[in-house]
Amino acid sequence: MVDIVYYSNRSGNTKRFAEKLEVRNTYSVYDIAVAKKDYVLFVPTYGAGNDGHHVPQAVKTFLSIKTNANHLRGVVGFGNTNFGKTYCKAAEIIAKKFGVPILGRVELFGTPEDVEEIKERLEIFNDTV
């Protein structure tokens, strides 16, 4: 199973969602300096309408490490649909830059259905990597 690496701010939405998946190897971008194996990144979007600031700085820093970029296999976006066209924009930016798929989009901290959907997508994804 690929690891999950997430970024979460004070709201804790992304962290809470990652914990609901009950994946053993789940880490914050602050917990690990260098990824040792393949992972899926969980990332919220910031800066609604403010281009260039959608991807959190901590995520940019994490992905600037070549080993971390090389182990990235997919991304799950988090956001608020009130952001309109910038909903989950950080996931789109990262997916395009690193050539990885977006495995899902989750509003805020997600619903129980979102948890099940992402679990299923991760299982299918694990079978293909």
Query: Do 80 and 42 form a contact (C-beta atoms < 8 A)?
Result: no
Q: Among the ranges 11-15, 109-113, 114-118, which has the highest mean pLDDT value?
A: 114-118
Please report, as a single letter, which amino acid is at residue 4. Answer: I
CA distance 20 to 26: 11
Q: Is the pLDDT of residue 129 over 80?
A: no
- Tens digits of per-residue pLDDT, 47-96? 665 666 789 999 999 999 999 999 999 999 998 888 888 889 999 999 99
Residue 42's nearest CA partner among 54, 30, 29, 52 is 29
Q: What domains sit in the chain, N to C, each tagged with a CATH number?
A: 3-128 (3.40.50.360)
The pLDDT score that the predictor gives to residue 5 is 96
Query: DSSP assignment, residue 88?
Result: T
Average pLDDT, the chain: 89
**Higher pLDDT, residue 103 or 109:** 103
